[in-house]
Amino acid sequence: MKVIIMKISDLGGEFSLIDRLVKKVESDLLIEGIGDDAAVIRWTDDQHLLVTTDMLLDGDHFNTEWYTPYQIGWKSMVANLSDIAAMGGEPMFSFVSIAIPDDMEVEFLDGLYEGMQAATDRYGGAIVGGDTTHGKVLSINIAVLGIVAPEHLCRRGDAEVGDLICVTGPLGGSWGGLELLFKDIREGTTKHLEPDCRLDISSKLAPHVNAMIDVSDGLASEVRHICHMSGTGAVVHHEKVPLHPDAISAGKRLNKDPYRWALGGGEDFELVFTIPPGLLSKVEGFGVIVIGEILPKNEGIQLMKDGESTVLSGGYDHFSE
Amino acid sequence: MKVIIMKISDLGGEFSLIDRLVKKVESDLLIEGIGDDAAVIRWTDDQHLLVTTDMLLDGDHFNTEWYTPYQIGWKSMVANLSDIAAMGGEPMFSFVSIAIPDDMEVEFLDGLYEGMQAATDRYGGAIVGGDTTHGKVLSINIAVLGIVAPEHLCRRGDAEVGDLICVTGPLGGSWGGLELLFKDIREGTTKHLEPDCRLDISSKLAPHVNAMIDVSDGLASEVRHICHMSGTGAVVHHEKVPLHPDAISAGKRLNKDPYRWALGGGEDFELVFTIPPGLLSKVEGFGVIVIGEILPKNEGIQLMKDGESTVLSGGYDHFSE
C-alpha cells in the first residue's frame, strides 16, 4: 500500500488553499469574506468597513541584504494599503504585529517603523495597535481597517461584459528590479524596494468603475481573478500593456522580455479596473490606460498579440511557483 | 569613542517597546489605541468595535513536538479571543494570516484549522479572511474584531480605589504544565496546551466590573498593568490566590512553588477584574474569587503574605525574560 502524503505545494495555488481552509460564514454583517482584496463588513448606512491583512517574513518576502529597514517597513505597509485602494476605500487604522529576533538592533526597528509611519503619513491608516513579540525570524503582519461608501465599493466580481479593462500605470518595474537584484545590480530597483500604491486616485476612480483589484500577483493573474469572480471572459491586448521604464531598461540590460514581468511579475501595486465605455471620460484625467475588454465567459480569458489570441497565462502564485 | 549598539533586549519590556514604536494618534473614532487588550473604535451609538491581534511563531510560542496541530490552532485562537473577553466584548470575525513551510503536510494544516474552527465554534468570532503565504517558519497571526456596548467596555485603566480585585478561576496550571513538558512529562499539561478562555462569563461580568484584563502574562503583571493604567496602587493577598489543580500537582512532582507560576506564569487566560464591593454580589454566582483590593497610588503595588507586605513582582515580559 502506498501512503500518499500531500504537501502544501500539491494543493495548487493560494486561491484553492484559502478556499479549503475557511468555512463559509453566514452573517448579515459580512458582505464579502474571503476572495477579495479585503473583507467587507456592514458598518453604518453610509459606510462599509474594510479589513485586509498580510504577513511578510524575512527571507521570503523581503531580506535585510537588499532592503533598508525603512524600505521593509514602507513596502509592508504599502502592500496592505494597496488592498484598501483596490476596494475603492480609504485606510483608517493599522495594526502591526511584529516578531523580532533577540539580537536585532533598535536602530533597525526604528527604521522599520519610520518606513511604516511614512507610508501611513502619506496614504492614511494610522498605526494604532498591534503585537510585539519574540521570533527567530523577523515577521511582520499588518491588518488595516478601512472605510468605503457602499456605492463606491469595487469588488473583483463586479465586472460586466462590455466593460473596458484599464490599468492606472506602467507595469513590470517591480519584477524587473527584482531580476536586477538577483544579479547584484542596485540601479533601477526602487520600484521593487519602495513601491507606491494608488490611494492617490483610487477613491476618485471608485465612483465610476465596476471591478477593481491591485497588481500584487501580476496583471494576468489579476485579470483572471476578476473574470473568475465576475463569471466573465476577457481579452487583454499585449501591445497596449504599458511597461514601466525600469522594466524596459532592466529588460535590455538582462536581455529578457519585460512584458513577461508586466503580465506575470506582480508587486507593482497599480490598480486594474473595469469600467463601462461610456464612463471612461470620467477617469481619463487620471492617466489610466485601456488594455482590454471584458467578454462573455465562453470566450475565455485571452491575450491578443499580433492578431493572434492565446490564453492569458502568467502571474505569481504563492504556492505553485 | 565607544559606539553603543542597543539591542531589543535592552529596551526593557514589551510595554515600553510598543510605546516607543507607535505614535500617539488623535482621532474621534479611536477611543482606545495601544495599551489595552484590544483597540476600541467607535462603531454605532450602541456598539464599539474591538480589534486585537497576536502573532505566534513555531519555536517561540508553540512547537510541533509538544502540541498537536489542533492544539496549536485552538490555543492561537483562544489567546486572541481572550483579549476580546477582557474588554467585556463578544468576538465577531477573525482574520488568520499564516506562513507555511513548503514541506508542511496538508494533514497538519487541516488539524491547525480544525483547532481554530473549534475555538470559534465554541466562543464565536468566525474566521472570515486572512492571508496564506510561504514561510520558513510556521507563523500565525490572528486579528479578531469584536463588539461591546459602550457601557460594558472594561478597560485596564478603569479601576477605582476601593475596588475589590477578583479572578475568574484558578491560576498557574498553564505554567505548571509547561514546566512538566520541559521534563518530558505529558500528564497534567492540557491547561497549557489547550486552554479555555472566559468568554462563557465575561459579558455577564462586564456590566458590573470596572477594570478587566486577561491573564496572559501572569497575575502579578496583569495587576501591575491595571494599576499603571488606572493610576492606582493595589494589594494582592497571597493566600487568596487560587491555584489550579494542575499547578499543585506539578509543584509537588517537580518540588517547585506553584504560587510562582500563578503570579508570574501567564497563559492561564482567566480574567482579572476590579469591582466596587457593593456590586460583588452581582458576580459571585460565576465562581469569581476575591484576591485583593485597589489602593491609592502612593501605597504601591503590594503582595501581602503572612502579614508582611512586599512589592508584587513576577510576570512574563516578552523582552526581559
Q: CA angle at residue B231 from B226 to B232, to 5 degrees?
A: 75
Residue B252 maps to which CATH number?
3.90.650.10
Residues 6+ apart with CB under 8 A from B318: A132, A133, A134, B13, B14
ipTM, 2 dp: 0.87
Q: Is residue A1 part of a domain?
A: no
Of A150, A167, A198, the last residue of a domain is A150
Residue B227 sits in the same domain as residue B293: yes
A/B interface, count of CB pairs below 8 Å: 237
Task: Give the gap in angstroms from C-alpha B129 to the nearest C-alpha of chain A.
Answer: 5
Judge if B130 and B238 occupy the same domain. no
Q: Please tell me whether residues B158 and B296 are part of one structural domain.
A: yes
Q: Which cell numbers hold the place of A5?
A: 502524503
Which residues constitute the domain of residue B224? 154-311
Q: Are residues B203 and B115 in the same domain?
A: no
Instruction: Report the alpha-carbon distance of residue B110 to residue B100 in Å, rounded.
Output: 12
**Exposure string (b/e) for B185-214, b if CB count within 10 Å is 16 or more?**
eeebbebbbbbbbbbebbbebbebbbbbbb
Rounded-to-integer distance, Cα B149 and Cα B98, Å: 31
Return the beta strands (E) in chain A as ranges: 30-32, 39-42, 48-57, 90-100, 126-134, 139-148, 164-167, 212-214, 233-237, 271-275, 289-295, 301-305, 308-311
Do B168 and B277 lie in one domain? The reply is yes
Q: Is residue B316 part of a domain?
A: no
Look at residues A133, A150, A167 and tell me which one is the last residue of a structural domain: A150
Cell of residue A107, nine digits? 536602530
Same domain, A133 and A229: no
Q: Is residue B195 part of a domain?
A: yes
Q: Which CATH number fits the domain that encloses residue B53?
A: 3.30.1330.10
Q: Kindly state whether residues A173 and A144 are assigned to the same domain.
A: no
A126 and A199 fall within a common domain? no
Same domain as A45, residue A185: no
* Per-residue model confidence as pLDDT tens for chain A (321 residues): 334 444 555 555 454 455 666 666 677 788 877 777 888 998 888 899 999 999 999 988 899 999 999 999 999 999 999 999 999 999 999 999 999 888 888 889 889 999 999 999 999 999 988 888 888 889 999 999 999 999 999 999 999 999 999 999 999 999 999 999 999 999 999 999 999 999 999 999 999 999 999 999 899 999 999 999 999 999 999 999 999 999 999 999 999 999 999 999 889 999 999 999 999 999 999 999 999 999 999 999 999 999 999 999 875 544 333
| Residue B318 belongs to some domain of the structure | no
Same domain, A109 and A167: no
From the list B10, B41, B55, the residue facing A141 with the nearest CB is: B55
**Do A136 and A163 belong together in one domain?**
no
Query: What are the start-end ranges of the E strands in B107-254?
Result: 126-134, 139-148, 164-167, 212-214, 233-237
* Domain membership flag for residue B321: no
Q: Per the domain annotation, does B317 fall within a domain?
A: no
**Residues 108-167 (A) with a CB less than 8 A from some CB of B:** 109, 113, 117, 126-137, 139, 141, 143, 145
- Global pTM value: 0.89
B183 in reach of chain A (CB within 8 A): no
Which of A22, A30, A97 comes nearest B141 by C-beta?
A97
Number of domains in chain B: 2
3-class DSSP state of A226: helix
Chain B residue numbers with beta carbons less than 8 Å from the beta carbon of A9 are 102-103
**Domain endpoint, select from A125, A150, A175:** A150
Kindly state whether B43 is in contact with chain A, defined as any CB-CB distance less than 8 angstroms: yes
Query: Is residue A5 domain-resident?
Result: no
Interface contact A22-B127, CB threshold 8 A? yes
- Say if residue B83 is in the same domain as residue B58: yes
Evaluate whether residue A107 is within a structural domain. yes
